[in-house]
């Protein structure tokens, strides 16, 4: 399974249920990487999408403890166990965990690839992603040239869990 995330220099991912910054190149990468695939996200992350609707051209699976929650055009699952069972019908290479913080933390142990947009800046934030640079289980296997959007520098990094074959 994959994780895809944009983080700042402190591995922050958001503030008050919003992304830290909107970078068109990062959004383009996200679209290209996940189009036609399965995206797994939490209910609060879904609420941040345009009109709170599931992403088009993808299979959307929402993880929510609220048993009454329904989302038109998406599958709702209520526990990590139920989710992992439901994901068995998909190729794990086609599954992308897209947030937010609690969903990332719950599903990171089941992922072997992380696509990280690393933004060279520190933002005020209240949501973070685990620091893969300090986690001995993960290593960088690919990186891009530094990109810029106005005065914001960022790099696309691909991490792989050590010992995983690809």
Q: Is the model's pLDDT at 140 over the cut of 70?
A: yes
Domain segments of the chain: what residues? 2-161
* CATH architecture of the domain formed by 2-161: 3-Layer(aba) Sandwich (3.40)
**Range 72-75 contact pairs with CB under 8 angstroms and sequence separation of 24 or more:** 74/46
Dihedrals phi, psi of 72, to nearest 5 degrees: -60, 130
pLDDT for 166: 59
pLDDT for 125: 98
Q: Is the model's pLDDT at 164 over the cut of 80?
A: no
Rounded to two decimals, what is the model's pTM?
0.95
> Distance (Å, rounded) from C-alpha 138 to C-alpha 151?
29
* pLDDT confidence bin for 163, thresholds 50/70/90: confident
Q: Is the model's pLDDT at 124 over the cut of 90?
A: yes
Q: Is the model's pLDDT at 37 over the cut of 70?
A: yes
* pLDDT confidence bin for 72, thresholds 50/70/90: very high
């Amino acid at each position: 399974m994959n994780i895809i995330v944009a983080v700042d220099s402190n591995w922050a991912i958001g503030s008050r249920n919003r992304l830290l910054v909107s970078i068109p190149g990062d959004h383009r990468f996200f679209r290209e990487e996940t189009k036609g695939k399965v995206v797994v996200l939490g209910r609060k992350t879904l609420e941040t999408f345009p009109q709170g609707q599931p992403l088009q051209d993808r299979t959307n699976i929402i993880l929510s403890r609220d048993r009454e929650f329904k989302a038109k055009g998406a599958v709702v699952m209520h526990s990590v166990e139920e989710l992992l069972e439901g994901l068995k019908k998909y190729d794990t290479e086609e599954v992308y965990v897209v947030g937010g913080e609690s969903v990332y933390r719950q599903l990171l142990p089941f992922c072997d690839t992380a696509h990280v947009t690393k933004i060279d800046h520190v933002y005020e934030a209240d949501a973070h992603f685990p620091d893969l640079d300090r986690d001995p289980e993960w290593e960088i296997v690919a990186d891009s040239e530094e990109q810029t959007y106005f005065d914001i520098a960022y790099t696309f990094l691909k991490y792989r869990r050590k010992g995983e074959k690809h």
